[in-house]
Every structure is written in structure tokens, then in C-alpha cells.
Amino acid sequence: MSVEWRIDDRPVGYETAVAAMEERVAAIRTHAAPELVWLLEHPPLYTAGTSARAEDLVEPLFPVYQTGRGGQFTYHGPGQRVGYVMLDLKARGLDVAAYVRGLEEWLIRALAAFNVKGERRQGRVGIWVVAGGREAKIGAIGVRVRHWITYHGISLNLDPDLGHYRGIVPCGIRDAGVTSLAEQGIVATTGEADLALKRAFAEVFG
């Protein structure tokens, strides 16, 4: 299936991004536009998913946005690549569970391009790495589906300020940390990450 790619090199405001996604979802539903994968970066902010708990907002260091995606609190900011994915699940013969598993596989394969072993965890959405005996999340997933069209998506930590996560309990998980490619000793440019994500997406979603 034909998928359009949009890549932004400058930070995109969260509300601007959500409005653009909703517009594209409506267009995909009426076959007025193709599916879209949008790679971008946000200025520092927190988003609260549909399962977010008030006590997990420890200190609102940055603006907080309520969103209709699944999941709890997460952080977005410079040094993190966000991938918003707008696909027609019905046309692709996928259910939501299979789609989420596909997003996990997408992150795992993208990380493999940097010789990083990303792993799933039972009962935890997202992708994890283990280094020095410590388990930490390196990729987050949060999706929303409207009329079988997806939006929101994934984020991958290249080299964000991990101290910015201290304002929240990331994804509601208190007994694990957050990491990045840089913390794992890997320097990856935005362009290199985009290329890895694009190649891995083609492998998983065709």
C-alpha cells in the first residue's frame, strides 16, 4: 500500500500536530489522502493518555496535554524522535493488538540498526533495553484508532535530557528507568534514526 512520509526537522507544537493528524485521519477514511507516517520532534512537554493517574504527575515542569491516545504520562522533547502513524487497519486486515505488536517490532528493528537489543515486556507496552543489570525503556507507544484509522504512534529516545522525565512517572511504571541511545553509548543523528525507522517500517508493514 502507498504510504506517504513526512519528515520535520524543526519542533512541531503538540496541538498543531494533533490537529494535522485528525485532519489526515478524516481524509484517509474518505480515500482523499494516502496513509501517512510523520517523523518529528516536539518542544518539551508531557502528555497524559486515557489511563493517566493524577499522582503520576509529580512536578509539571513543562506544559501538560490531555490526549485521547492509550497509555499514561509520557514526555516528548528535543533529542527524541516521534513517529505518528496514520494507517487504515481495515484495509490492511489488522486488528489493534496486531497493530501495536507491529509498532513494537518496528522499534525493535530500528534499534537493531544501531546494534541495540530492544525487548518487549509482558504487560508493559513499549520497548526496553537491559544494560548493566538495569532495565529501562527506550521506546514508547501510544495509539488511538478512529473508524479503524490509527493515529499517534511511537517515540524513540536518541539523546533527550533524561532529567526532564523527573516531572512524571513515565507510563506509570515506578520500578524501571528511562534510557536513550546516547546513554547506551551510541551517537545517532536524526537523519540516521529516520533512515533506520523508514527501513524498519517497510520490513514490518510492507
In the 8-state DSSP scheme, what is residue 42?
A: -
Please say if 171 is a catalytic residue. yes
98's CB contacts (< 8 A; 6+ apart) are: none
Distance CA 18, CA 202 (A): 24
The SS3 of residue 153 is strand
Task: Reduce the DSSP state of residue 52 to 3 states and report it.
Answer: coil
- All residue ranges of the chain with pLDDT < 70 are 1, 171-176
Which long-range CB contacts under 8 A does 109-112 form with residues at least 24 apart? Answer: 109/199, 109/200, 109/203, 109/204, 110/156, 110/193, 110/196, 110/197, 110/199, 110/200, 111/138, 111/139, 111/156, 111/196, 112/200
Catalytic residue among 171, 178, 188, 196: 171
In the chain, what are the domain boundaries?
3-205
Determine the 3-state secondary structure of 1 from DSSP.
Answer: coil
Measured CA to CA, the distance from residue 8 to residue 185 in angstroms comes to 26
The pLDDT, as a whole number, for residue 171 is 58
In this prediction, residue 183 carries a pLDDT of 95
Residues 3-205, CATH architecture: 2-Layer Sandwich (3.30)
pLDDT of 174: 58
Q: What is the pLDDT of residue 173?
A: 57
* Contact call for residues 161 and 79 (beta carbons, < 8 A): yes
CA torsion, ordered 194, 16, 206, 28, to nearest 10 deg: -160
